[in-house]
Amino acid sequence: MKLATRIIAALGAAALSLGLAQAAPSGAPVRIGSTLALTGPLSGTAIIHKIVGEIYVDDLNKRDGLLGRPVEWILKDDQSKPELARTLYEQLITVDKVDLIIGPYATPNIIAAMGVAQRYNRVLIHHTMGIPSLAKYDMQFPAWSVGPNPETTVPNTLFDALAASAKPPKTIAIVTSKFPSVYFMSVGAREVAKKRGLQEVLFLEWEFGNKDFGPIANRVKDAKPDFVFVGAIGLEGNQLLEAMKKIDYVPPMHYYMYPAPGPLAKLPEAQGALAASIFEQHPPFTNNPIAAQFVKEYNARAAKAGLPDNSVETQAAASFSTWQVLEAAVTATKSLDDKVLAAWLKQNQVDTIQGRLRFDRANNYGDDLMRVKQVQNGHWVTVWPKEWAAPGAKLITP
């Protein structure tokens, strides 16, 4: 029964996404509310989620909408502030009286929205929660499939990849921002590295917003590690590499936790840089026709919006998956009732462009679907695990 439901839901979503089932939605719109950091320090990434949401809602309305009704996305600007996100979700539920809600961008804002969702017993599907242990609410569902313990599983996947490479590292330097979701992963990586017998030659932390990466680059160079784990978010990775370039230092092997993928790939010094990813726009990911269609649409809209990087990767894919999960639950249950949707999600799996998601482990997390990608000739390519590697791609070591 479970499998049958899953297959029907997946096929239904796929057929709908491909435009095979054409019918004009009618009646009162299904109102879906959310906030995004449209302004403020997180807005550079949140714009990705806005574009993805618009693509998905447009596509839904070109098909049959939800339950045959058109879909209206009520999007508000939380200005990158969790306290404002909390107020706006309250407003979405009590004043705008939306039928459904989905999550905002970034862990602190998601936690804020989760509190409101819990107060009103609403389902909250979210796309970028970086610390699963903080997601205690029973009716929250993560669409970024990092598993319940990413601080262990993600580094393990990385070290597996390195161990299988032509030149496995023996020493490691871990340098990290104290941005909560990044720091949490770096501390986890430190423990995993220790357990796997890598010798730690340096561990450094910096405050998020650090301006001067020169001294950090100096210390990494001085420590002479085989491998540098950079707990960086956004452009911190670029800033560190720029600082390294100024002292003529090239890290032998280097990994970045949550980099700004486009700018990092374009940096010549980033050749060989590694990072985690759930999706890259190359086969086998794009063998999925829904993914291929989304990549095409996203590339065009992101270019039109003036984004410096138009590629679909983790953020866009997680965002798309959120809408896929929501659509699958509503379509399968033919309901907008939060409790019905939550019950269905707990018992079923959903096929998304990042892979099959399930929500039956701790805090409704499922499998860790994070893979390892590498900058090769100015482009990100997945290199690990082998079954998700880009055609002909393998991890390059110095």
Partner 1 sequence: MPSFTLLAQSVLSGIFIGALYGLLGLGLSLTWGMLRQINLAHFALAFLGAYLTFQLTHGAGWDPLATLLVVVPCFFLLGASMHWLFARFAITPFNSLLVTFGLTVIVESLIQWIWTADQRLMDSAYGAVRFKLGALYVPLPELLTLVLAVALSLAAWAGLRYTDLGRAMRAAAEDAPIAAAFGVNERSLSLLLSGISAAFAGVAGLCIALSFTLAPSQIYAWIGVVFAVVMIGGLGNPIGPLVAGIVIGISESLTMALTSPAWAPLVSFSLLIVVLLARAKKI
| Interacting residues with partner 1 (CB under 8 A) | 39-41, 43-44, 47, 178, 204-207, 209-212, 214-216, 218-219, 221-222, 234-235, 238-239, 242, 245-248, 260, 263, 306-308
Q: Which is nearer to partner 1, 115 or 214 (CB)?
A: 214
Structure tokens at 339: 């409790």
Residue with tokens 């809408």: 323
* Closer of 221 and 346 to partner 1 (Cβ): 221
Amino acid in position 387: E
DSSP state letter for 353:
T
**Residue 93 or 204 having the CB closest to partner 1:** 204
If you ran DSSP here, which 8-state letter would residue 174 be given?
Answer: E
Residues 86 and 90: their CA atoms lie apart, in Å, by 6
Q: Taking the complex as a whole, how short is the minimal distance between the CB of residue 359 and partner 1, in angstroms? A: 32
Cβ proximity to partner 1: between 9 and 312 the closer is: 312
Distance between CA 183 and CA 175 in Å, rounded?
A: 10
Kind and range of the H or E run holding 304: helix 289-304
What's the closest the beta carbon of residue 303 comes to partner 1, in angstroms?
13
Structure tokens that stand for 85 in this block: 């996100």
CA distances to 79, 185, 258, 287 from 234, rounded to whole Å, are 18, 15, 6, 29
CB of 218 to partner 1, least distance (A): 5
Residue (157 or 239) nearer to partner 1, CB: 239
Q: Which is nearer to partner 1, 43 or 171 (CB)?
A: 43
CB distance 371 to 382 below 8 Å: yes
User: From edge to edge, which strands make up the β-sheet containing 30-36?
Assistant: 71-77, 30-36, 100-102, 124-126, 140-142
Q: CB 352 → partner 1: shortest distance, Å?
A: 26
Least distance to partner 1, CB of residue 79, Å: 11
The tokens for 145 are 């499939």
